[in-house]
Amino acid sequence: MKKRTIYSWGAATVIFVVLMIVTPTIPQSQAYHDFADQRTFFGIPNALNVISNFPFLIIGLIGLVLCFYPDDYFRFSLRGEKLGWTCFFVGVAAVAFGSSYYHLHPDDARLVWDRLPMTIAFTSIMAIFVIERIDEHKGTYSIVPLLLVGLVSILYWRQAVICRFFDDLRPYALVQFVPCIVIPLMAILLPPMYTHSTYWLWAAGFYLLAKVEEAADKPIYSWTHHILSGHSIKHVCAAMVPVFLTLMLAKRSVQTERISLYKTWKISWTRSRGKGTEEESFECTYTNVAVEEARLDINLENMESSFRFIDQCLLISQTFMSFPHLMIISACLLIAVFSYHSFKPTHIYLIDFSCYQPPDFLRSPIANFIEHLNLSGIFDRECLDLQQKILERSGIGDDACVPVTVHEIPPHSSLSASREETHDILFTVVQDLFSKHKIDPKSIDILVSNCSLFCPSPSITSIIINKFGMRSNVKSFSLSGMGCSAGLLSINLVKDLMKIHGGSLALVLSMEAVSPNGYKGKCKSMLIANTIFRMGGAAILLSNRDQDKDKAKYKLQHLIRTHLGSDDESYESVMQEVDEEGLVGVALSKQLVKVASKALKINVVELGPRVLPYSEQIKYIISFIKRKWRKHKEKEVYTPNFKKAFEHFCIHAGGRAIIEGVEKHLKLEKEDGEASRTTLYRYGNTSSSSLWYEMQYLEAKGRMKKGDRVWQIGFGSGFKANSAVWKCITEIDSREKNAWSDRIHLYPVCGDVSG
């Protein structure tokens, strides 16, 4: 073996190893198996995705027959060609079986048999190119090694079939996509052994088109009104690759003068420039076969009459190939479309949201609340005094509401009361949102609800699906036990789902049921929850459809989640448990504010570099370095000015201490927390929905302007701190009716609304 060959293989191996080290693993996404068209015809599941593989079998068998046809039909003249093309057509025919088997029941185990025959075809083509364009002997000897490389890439990806070792697509991606780049380049730059080498480019173009259709599976299915999916059309386009290569083999002949396509195009361009407007005749420079004005000289002397259809196909193909520049432009357009669909970011748009406004008869003024506690006869004097003290300092005003059952003396909790509260809140906000935007419930693709302490069966999402008659294939998720930060967690879940499901409309429901969660014991840490939680909920409509951009209010820019569950103090800061008397309640630790500050600090460290201007980041870095080097001089690290990154702040209205703690930690002014403090005053702690009441307050006040950025900060049990950054992308009409419209002129309350 020559030193040059050894160096080449060595360099390739080093590059491969470096890529495997520096790049992250690519696991197989389970969303890959979720195809748009899942219809069943004639008892065949995913019927069109299965049936559309039939062309692979036909062309694969035709190619195999012609490879061994008498009188050397394909006129192979190089050693190893027949073996290479035989492997290729075997792989093509096997695709029909492997892909059909996979699409009958898509999963990782069956996907192995879909990708294995394709890998055989890819590696065979690479060997064939080496034989024809580089070196006959090296190409022949590379057939088996290349096939083994393809097999190893499959096993490396899906070793789970044997012993669940790896789940990494990187080697397979190299085997699949390297030929897609190398083959067109070799076809253009290296001189061919045979004529009609432009068929390689047509084959590459159809393969690229197939990948575009695969990426646009669901959009194409929608554009065709659920007649054909992109994946089914992709199979047909991919089958055109062996069709063109078979036509090339049938038509080609040994080229007397070997010249690359690049040089041929260059000569053709030079001649056309020299002739100016003169058009005497025209030469098909792709194949070096002269083409006159009125006819194409197609010489297929050895073609049998049983294959006359090939002659017609060649005539049509040759006509198109007489225009080289058109083909180049088409290929560039295909590459541009494929790149756009593959790399464009997924934008999450917030079309609108609705917050529940309880009727006035459910108001629970502080004096009434305290009176009810006294009349209930449940608590002793010490517990009553503690709850009264907490209420008076809570920052909650007289307009905050509680469910009907809490107004009763004594208050009672039951499953029916909890259902009634849930129905009242969610049915109202969902109907309001649907009516306002004329949304058909059947158009909802994703439905997520979050309610921490009330988890009925059927679930809350099932209740909504039943009430509004949503589709049977709506993707629904009911979250519970996630605490007050579950609203942003639900948004994050939708965000992740929309990375997979393009063109989707999502509905998020956030609430907490107050009816079933009153604590009747004597544990002081559990009595706090009795006083601060109030009735409320919100419905949020999200979309990743481009057509919704113009009518959306906000665009999601960042969503950062922090979970301190591994820390015992944080984990136990908010805990539902049983007291000494066997009564269930939610205990709030004295360290809650400290834990919240700790979680927020970690969250901000991750969010800061994404939103802060460089000037603030540099100040922070300099301050951090000074503190490390001069501990006795620098008492604390510089806190960045987040008002340079955001125009508005929505802090979870969990209580006066939480709001003030965040303001202190972020060095915000009292005005920055106005929306949170006012929400707490009017609606109380509505758990995960409080952030949306705060957003509506800013809208009702006319402060939200196009281009403004708002930072939502949520806290919840676990302990969790979540941040969402939204950008206003439209002009907000402050006169639009919402949960604040009836009395927005009364806020903010003069003085310290926190009491």
CA-to-CA distance for 318 and 640, rounded, in angstroms? 67
Instruction: Single out the catalytic residue among 53, 383, 652, 722.
Output: 652
Find residue 646's DSSP bridge partners: none
Query: How many C-beta atoms surround the C-beta of residue 471 within 10 A?
Result: 14
Instruction: Single out the catalytic residue among 196, 231, 235, 648.
Output: 648
Instruction: Single out the catalytic residue among 53, 530, 603, 685.
Output: 685
Question: What count of residues does the chain have?
Answer: 755
Instruction: Single out the catalytic residue among 103, 231, 501, 563.
Output: 563
**Nearby residues of 301 by Cβ (< 8 Å), 6 or more positions away:** none
Helix (H, G, I), strand (E, B) or coil at 385: helix
Element (H, E) at 312: helix 308-321
Query: How many C-beta atoms surround the C-beta of residue 97 within 10 A?
Result: 16
Q: What angle do CA 484, 490, 496 make, to 5 degrees?
A: 145
Which two three-digit tokens encode residue 263? 């040089």
CA-to-CA distance for 242 and 92, rounded, in angstroms? 7
* Nearest in space to 386 (alpha carbons), one of 513, 517, 515, 529: 529
CA-to-CA distance for 170 and 115, rounded, in angstroms? 14
DSSP letter (8 states) at residue 134:
I
Query: How many C-beta atoms surround the C-beta of residue 295 within 10 A?
Result: 8
Which two three-digit tokens encode residue 171? 């080697």
Which two three-digit tokens encode residue 574? 């908010």
Pairing state between β 505-511 and 475-479: unpaired
CA dihedral 668, 669, 675, 681 (to 10 degrees): 110
Instruction: Single out the catalytic residue among 284, 401, 484, 728.
Output: 484
Q: What angle do CA 233, 234, 240 make, to 5 degrees?
A: 95
- Whether the Cβ atoms of residue 591 and residue 573 lie closer than 8 Å to each other: yes
**Nearby residues of 420 by Cβ (< 8 Å), 6 or more positions away:** 403, 404, 515
The position carrying tokens 């253009």 is: 188
The position carrying tokens 């055109």 is: 240
Would residue 563 show up in a list of annotated catalytic residues for this protein?
yes
C-alpha 14, offset from chain centre: 33
Pairing state between β 446-450 and 475-479: parallel
Would residue 484 show up in a list of annotated catalytic residues for this protein?
yes
Cis peptide before 458 (omega within 30 of 0): yes
- Contacts for 570-573: CB closer than 8 Å, 24+ residues apart: 570/595, 570/598, 570/599, 570/718, 570/719, 571/718, 571/719, 573/717, 573/719
CA-to-CA distance for 461 and 676, rounded, in angstroms? 28
Would residue 652 show up in a list of annotated catalytic residues for this protein?
yes
Q: Is 15 exposed, middle or buried (0-12, 13-18, 19+ CB in 10 A)?
A: exposed
Pairing state between β 289-291 and 475-479: unpaired
DSSP letter (8 states) at residue 465:
H
Helix (H, G, I), strand (E, B) or coil at 722: strand
DSSP letter (8 states) at residue 130:
I
Q: Is 191 exposed, middle or buried (0-12, 13-18, 19+ CB in 10 A)?
A: middle
- What is the number of alpha carbons within 13 Å of residue 351 lying toward its C-beta? 22
Q: Give the active site residues.
A: 484, 563, 648, 652, 685
